[in-house]
């Protein structure tokens, strides 16, 4: 495991180009299992979660080329197993996305307990609801894993309402519905841009569907799915992360590659905090040195609300904003706990409960050793360390590299004084 040593107190300046959306890449890679023809994905992010997903497909028998680049070709002509590698599954929340494709191709699937951030607190009940609605039968499984078997004639289209508008549950339902016989109607579907990307990729594979970007998606499944090519949209969460790093250090940064419409839920909040940020005619996000102010209350929401993935970073920004901000993340109950470490950096925080935190700023931060317990709070702690006076160490760095490519190299390119240590 690695540690990132950071000498803070330096404004960041320069340009960052973001790669493809992590949350789109994983379902698109899983979708390649639906066909025996080659599929090519462009602008794939070079991050640990993507590498783990590609390794998982290789273990099932897929041929993968370009795995270390942004252009990846996957061919699942033959599959050798219906049970993904339990070790890889244990590292990756997105492993649940193979349920539908493996049921379609192999008739059954056995999956160990999925990992990722907060694995014991994030259930797959809604995923199971969708699969069983399409005719899959849940089988006894060892421990807390899951096993399913498709009906004799394959999955069957159905109409159902998801218990929650979960992104991965919606994607799992779409992947299964694409291979089901007949029409499937998914109600209370997630509307995030990466769900829309999956729908468009499935359409390129020959699956007829409509309603992407709305809470109701209609899918006409097909038994014959062809290979397809797709270029991923830029990762707006990554772009928002770099924007906060620029703002919290009093720097001037440009972030290119994300779509302005995808960025709006983030930039609108930063503008309310009086961060000087704007998107130019070329779609480049500019963040300039600013004097931030508190915004009283910020609540996360389903798309197009403020994304939960940004709540840790905006909390750090709030420590450098004049006044008091209540931040309420109703979606995940452990994300804010990791930020208690900011108190040891002199931040003025009050954790009301697992979902709400009150931040009073502006408080100068000082460096210290920090624990990156999950992907997004890990990046937030790096932001705090960059803003702080003195030296900090953030570990394990690998947790953050699950979602941010070439992190040390890119931080250095915009003036951060950082060093990777074993």
Domain parsing of the chain, residue ranges? 3-18+234-421, 22-231
Selected catalytic residue, list 49, 117, 235, 329: 117
**How many other CB atoms sit within 10 Å of the CB of residue 142?**
9
Taking domain 22-231, whether its CATH number is 3.30.1300.10 is answered by no
pLDDT digit string (tens) for 346-404?
999 999 998 999 999 999 999 999 999 899 999 999 999 999 999 999 999 999 999 99
Residue 31, burial from CB neighbour count under 10 angstroms (0-12, 13-18, 19+): buried
- Tell me the three-class secondary structure of 265-333, residue by residue: HHHHHHHHCCCEEEECCCCCEEEECCCCECCEEEEECCCCCECHHHHHHHHHHHHCCEEEEEEECCCCC
pLDDT digit string (tens) for 321-347?
999 999 999 887 777 888 999 999 999
pLDDT of residue 283: 94
Taking domain 3-18+234-421, whether its CATH number is 2.60.120.10 is answered by no
The rounded distance, in Å, linking the Cα atoms of 344 and 368 is 7
Residues whose CB is less than 8 angstroms from the CB of residue 268 and which lie 6 or more positions away in sequence, other chains included: none
Q: How many CA atoms lie within 13 A of 35 on its CB side?
A: 26
Fold match, 3-18+234-421 / 22-231: yes
pLDDT in tens, the chain (422 residues): 999 999 999 999 999 999 999 999 999 999 999 999 999 999 999 999 999 999 999 999 999 999 989 999 999 999 999 999 999 999 998 999 999 999 999 999 999 988 766 544 568 899 999 999 999 999 987 777 899 999 999 999 999 999 999 999 999 999 999 999 999 999 999 999 999 999 999 999 999 999 999 999 999 999 899 999 999 999 999 999 999 999 999 999 999 999 999 999 999 999 999 999 999 999 999 999 999 999 999 999 999 999 999 999 999 999 999 999 999 998 877 778 889 999 999 999 999 998 999 999 999 999 999 999 899 999 999 999 999 999 999 999 999 999 999 999 999 999 999 999 98
pLDDT of residue 121: 53
Residues in the chain: 422
pLDDT of residue 118: 53
Whether 117 sits among the annotated catalytic residues: the reply is yes
Cis status of the peptide bond prior to 249, with omega within 30 of 0: no
């Amino acid at each position: 495991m690695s540690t990132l040593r950071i000498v803070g107190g330096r404004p960041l300046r320069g340009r960052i180009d973001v790669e493809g959306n992590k949350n789109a890449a994983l379902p698109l890679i899983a979708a390649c299992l639906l066909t025996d023809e080659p599929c090519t994905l462009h602008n794939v992010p070079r991050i640990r979660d993507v590498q783990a997903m590609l390794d998982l497909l290789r273990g099932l028998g897929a041929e993968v080329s370009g795995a270390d680049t942004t252009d990846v070709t996957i061919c699942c002509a033959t599959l050798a197993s219906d049970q993904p590698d339990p070790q890889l599954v244990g590292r990756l929340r997105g492993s649940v996305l193979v349920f539908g494709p493996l049921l379609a191709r192999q008739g059954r699937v056995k999956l160990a307990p999925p990992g990722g951030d907060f694995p014991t607190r994030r259930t797959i009940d809604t995923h199971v609801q969708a699969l069983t609605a399409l005719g899959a039968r849940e089988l006894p499984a060892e421990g807390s894993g899951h096993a399913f078997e498709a009906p004799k004639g394959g999955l069957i289209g159905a109409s159902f309402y998801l218990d929650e508008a979960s992104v991965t549950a919606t994607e799992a339902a779409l992947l299964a519905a694409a291979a089901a016989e007949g029409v499937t109607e998914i109600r209370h579907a997630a509307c995030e841009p990466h769900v829309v990307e999956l729908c468009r990729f499935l359409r390129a594979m020959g699956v007829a569907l409509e309603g992407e970007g709305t809470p109701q998606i209609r899918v006409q499944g097909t038994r014959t799915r062809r290979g397809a090519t797709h270029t991923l949209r830029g990762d707006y969460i990554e772009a928002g992360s770099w924007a906060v790093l620029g703002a919290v250090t009093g720097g001037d940064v440009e972030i290119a590659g994300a779509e302005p419409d995808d960025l709006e839920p983030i930039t609108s909040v930063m503008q309310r905090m009086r961060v000087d940020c704007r998107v130019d005619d070329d779609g480049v996000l500019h963040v300039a040195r600013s004097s931030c102010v508190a915004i009283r209350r910020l609540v996360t929401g389903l798309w197009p609300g403020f994304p939960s993935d940004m709540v840790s970073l905006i909390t750090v920004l709030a420590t450098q904003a004049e006044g008091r901000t209540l931040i309420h993340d109703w979606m995940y109950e452990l994300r804010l706990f990791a930020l208690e470490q900011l108190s040891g950096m002199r931040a003025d925080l009050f954790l009301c409960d697992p979902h709400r935190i009150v931040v009073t700023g502006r408080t100068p931060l000082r460096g210290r050793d920090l624990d990156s317990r999950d992907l997004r709070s890990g990046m937030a702690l790096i932001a705090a360390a960059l803003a702080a006076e003195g030296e900090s160490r953030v570990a394990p760095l690998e947790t953050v590299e699950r979602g941010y490519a070439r992190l040390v190299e890119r931080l250095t390119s915009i003036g951060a004084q950082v060093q990777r240590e074993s």
